[in-house]
Chains A and B, each alone.
Chain A
Amino acid sequence: MASNGKLTGKQRLGWTALTIVVMGYALFPVAAILATSFKTQADLGNASFLPSSLTWENYEMILFGDAQGLFLTAFRNSIGITLIATFIAVVLATLCAYAIARLNFPGKKIILGTALAVSIFPVISVVTPLFNLWRNIGLYDTWLGLIIPYLSLTLPISIWTLAAFFRQIPWDLEQAAQVDGATQWQAFRRAIVPLAMPGVFTTAIIAFFIAWNDFVYGISLTSTEAARPVPAALAFFTGSSQFEEPTGAISAAAIIVTIPVVVLVLLFQRQIVSGLTQGAVKG
């Protein structure tokens, strides 16, 4: 590094080249799927990157055509289940993380340890017993049947991220609020939560991604359109004959399910500002 913090021409060139390589490596699959989604059925095997002629027929098929029922219900399931799971996870994790960061109670370490243990437990080993249990108690193929396992994925990471975030908020603020006449709840809501908002949004987005991307639970714990999420539904797409792979339609669906994620990030980008706590205490 140059001592004044600015890059020399050579360094700048190096960094630019490296960035392009990394970006290309990361984004090429997305670009390939995007290109594929615009190819006709006949065009799929042409071994070229770009479609020879642009077509919307794949999008038409999943949105208005034969696959409409399959895709749109799955899309609705995915959004509903993921949003509910995220919401519950964030609310529970906020309260839990606040308690962990602020209070000294017996079993605090156990809660954190358990959360960590749950999050590293392989999903695939849980899914078979869960499948049996869910069938017996009637949760199989329901929204709730997916929301509960999604919570087990999203809660631990939410608790850990939020607890770290709460620890950074100066405790003085809360005590000042209490001396100013606030109840514990008021102090939490009016002094701590506004400061924790960036952390809560970040956590919400992480939780949303985890639930949105799940495949194993989605395909194992559902059997019909009643609760099947998009990643699982894609596996059930069929071509116009049994000899045709519906690659085009799957690509189109993959592009569509990416859109909510991108929109989410763009929407909350502004909320995820760091340094909001600056000026709370001495600078």
Chain B
Amino acid sequence: MSSITLQNLVKKYDDGFPAVNDISIDIEDGEFIILVGPSGCGKSTLLRMIVGLEDITEGDLLIGGERVNEKAPRERNLAMVFQSYALYPHLTVYENIAFPMRLTKGKFTKEEIDEKVRHAATMLELTEHLERKPANLSGGQRQRVAMGRAIVREADAFLFDEPLSNLDAKLRGQMRAEIARLQRELNTTSVYVTHDQTEAMTLGDRVAVLKKGLLQQIASPRELYEQPANLFVAGFIGSPSMNFLPGTVEGNIFSTPLGKIEIPDRAAKAGAGRDIVLAGIRPEFFDDASQLSEAQLSKGTTFTAEISHSEWMGNEQYAYVSYETDERVQETLRNLAEEMDADELRTQLVVEVDATSRFRSGDTAELWLDTRRMHLFDPGTGENLTRDEEAGAELTREAREDRKRDAERFVAKQS
């Protein structure tokens, strides 16, 4: 177990393109870090730089305080689970798991190897498959063999490169829980690359969001969700994604294509004097005004809008409100959609309301908006104008404490 420190890491390819650009992250001992971003953001490259499969162009990589830039992968004592699993097809499951130990001649006795392999197999419920070849296993079983091979190493850290992307949805959920459990039990520093934000939000102690080789924000999932640093992070995290409503702030009134909305002082101050800003509003910040109490209503603002269509999901309901977007932010929104691998520019608001609300297409509904939670963004720079640094830091600090408590609880349970 070790800490991993990335100091201003840069990866430039021969054509001068920086796939990873000046990234610094401090990964604590035992921490679970997720690298997330759209395809081509450099997350896999960064992982491969840590493990030693890609050269580092500039910057320093420290594992356990020691600089390892020039060390070969085998000298870094890290274990990696590949997206393709990379099992050795000519070896049985047993031999696949034992492979790393067989390479270190004389370090382990036969009995030790056998014990470790069987222990890992028990943890991963592979005992009855030990004599089978990888070709005869299901996707989930192969995935577990790849995990087993990583576990027996007693490596300083685990690196995962989209390990679940080849599994079907149900299995993915199972394995996600499995990986979370194993990581907590072993308390091994882990770096996990994914483009799936469910994995990012559920597994990570902290999540690093990358875009085009640049680190956008690294924080606990809660901080990312509540206090995103910029437009990209705000749009990328969360599903359905955040609505971006253009408008101008005058005093405490925010004029939008949907009408005038009253906003709190904090937002009013941040948006004051600007030509145009983008309000970031998550779908659940809205609600059906007719279902709320007076006390609740007073905490936000109500406005009316025509519902263009609605989707009833059983546990919740999505309503869509179309609006004419402002020309001045069209370019920004189009770029944002492109960066997030999203298909198109949306000029409709997604509103999440209670499943019991009876919204139909064409209805004019009274909607309530929790203005305390919305953020204002600068459409030019993408910067979050209303970000509360302290509140965000507090959320990440809490996540860190949670992790420590988890680890302690597990140690206590063991002894």
Contact = CB atoms under 8 A, between A and B. Distances in A.
A190 B153 CA distance: 18
B86 A172 contact: yes
Nearest to A193: B90
A179 B89 contact: no
B103 interface: yes
Question: Among the interface residues B53, B74, B83, B89, which one has the most CB atoms of the partner chain A within 10 A?
Answer: B89
Contact of B84 (A179, A186, A190, A281): A281
Contacts of A277: 89
Contact of A195 (B52, B89, B137): B89
Given A194-B90, A282-B142, A283-B139, A180 B149 contact: yes
Contacts of A178: 52-53, 72-74
A179 B80 CA distance: 7
B368 interface: no
A102 B80 CA distance: 21
B61 interface: no
A194 B74 CA distance: 21
A65 B84 CA distance: 64
A181 B74 contact: yes
Given A183-B74, A282-B139, A283-B135, A176 B82 contact: yes
Contacts of A181: 74, 100, 103-104, 153
A278 B52 CA distance: 27
Contacts of B84: 170, 172, 280-282
A281 B88 CA distance: 9
A175 interface: yes
A191 interface: yes
B99 interface: yes
Interface string A155-197: 0000000000000001011011111111100100011001100
B277 interface: no
B249 interface: no
B136 interface: yes
A129 interface: no
Contact of B103 (A182, A278, A280, A283): A182
A176 B146 CA distance: 10
A279 interface: yes
B133 interface: yes
A182 to B, nearest CB: 5
B53 A170 contact: no
Contact of B88 (A186, A280, A282): A280
Interface string A181-222: 111001000110011000000000000000000000000000
A32 interface: no
B103 A282 contact: no
A276 interface: yes
Interface residues of A, number: 25
Interface in B45-88: 51-53, 72-74, 78-80, 82-88
B166 interface: yes
Contact of A182 (B53, B74, B79): B74
A175 B86 contact: yes
Interface residues of B, number: 32
A173 B86 contact: yes
Interface string B82-113: 11111111100000000110011000000000
A191 B88 contact: yes
A12 to B, nearest CB: 32
Contacts of A195: 89-90
Contact of B166 (A177, A190, A194, A282): A282
A280 B166 CA distance: 13
Contacts of A173: 86, 88
B87 A280 contact: yes
B45 to A, nearest CB: 14
A175 B53 contact: yes
Contact of A179 (B73, B83, B133, B142): B73
Contacts of B149: 176, 180
A170 B51 CA distance: 18
A279 B134 contact: yes
Interface in B108-145: 133-137, 139, 142
Interface string B30-55: 00000000000000000000011100
Contacts of B53: 175, 178-179
Nearest to B78: A179
Contacts of B104: 181
Interface centre among B72, B82, B86, B99 (most CB of A within 10 A): B86
A282 B86 CA distance: 8
A173 B84 CA distance: 9
Interface string A254-283: 000000000000000000000011111111
A174 to B, nearest CB: 9
Nearest to B51: A179
Given A180-B153, A181-B103, A279-B142, A172 B90 contact: no
Contacts of A190: 99, 103
A190 B95 CA distance: 12
A178 B103 CA distance: 10
B262 to A, nearest CB: 54
Contact of A279 (B52, B73, B136, B153): B136
Nearest to A282: B166
Given A178-B73, A276-B89, A280-B87, A186 B103 contact: yes
Kindly list the 9 A-B residue pairs having the minimum CB-CB distance in the complex, ordered from nearest: A279-B135, A176-B86, A281-B84, A172-B86, A279-B134, A180-B100, A280-B89, A282-B166, A194-B90
6 contacts: A170-B84, A173-B88, A176-B149, A179-B73, A181-B104, A283-B135
Given A172-B86, A279-B135, 4 more contacts: A181-B103, A182-B103, A277-B89, A280-B86
